Amino acid sequence: MREVRDMKSLKNLPVEQQLKEIDAVAARLGVPKPTERPVLEIKPGEDEKHKVIELKRGDWKDDAPWFVIDEEGRLMVLTTADAMMGIMQSLQHMGEEVFKARLERAIAKELPIDFHDVWTVAMHELQQRLKEGGKPSASVDLENLVKTIKRRHPNLFYSLKDLEIDEQDMKEAGL
């Protein structure tokens, strides 16, 4: 994977190189038609309250996102609030999916008799922790949580003794 360029260095690059760098960033962001995106540059104004915005490429009427180079040469992305809210919702959904996958793996490791029952107990435990002012669910050690549930509710999990596994097989498996 290509290393991300230090965007502060855009200030010292010729315009054509700046545009190539911006197009590369736009492509990595999945922006449709990256070479057609407007590029603006912020320049000093008459005082601290005023700045000059110069259109380096594109049209003022072009669709967002717009790319903006600030006075220090940093690259910024200007987009609509709706688009930003969509990005935030996608990130939140992705975080929830990652959390669910981590919890599923932690439960499966402990050999549940009924996965859904253990899931329900785990979710209840997480809700209790949040009500008590504990850590957000994303920062909880899920493996430790499931082991605690297993100690409190052993009836929800298979025991290796119940599975009638030969002692020699258990030793070979490191159990």
Q: C-alpha distances in angstroms, 96 versus 25, 61, 93, 147? A: 27, 37, 5, 21
pTM to 2 decimals? 0.62
Percent of the chain residues topping a pLDDT of 70:
85
For residue 62, the one-letter residue type is D
Determine the longest span between alpha carbons in the chain, in angstroms.
84
pLDDT in tens, 115-145: 999 999 999 999 988 888 766 666 789 999 9
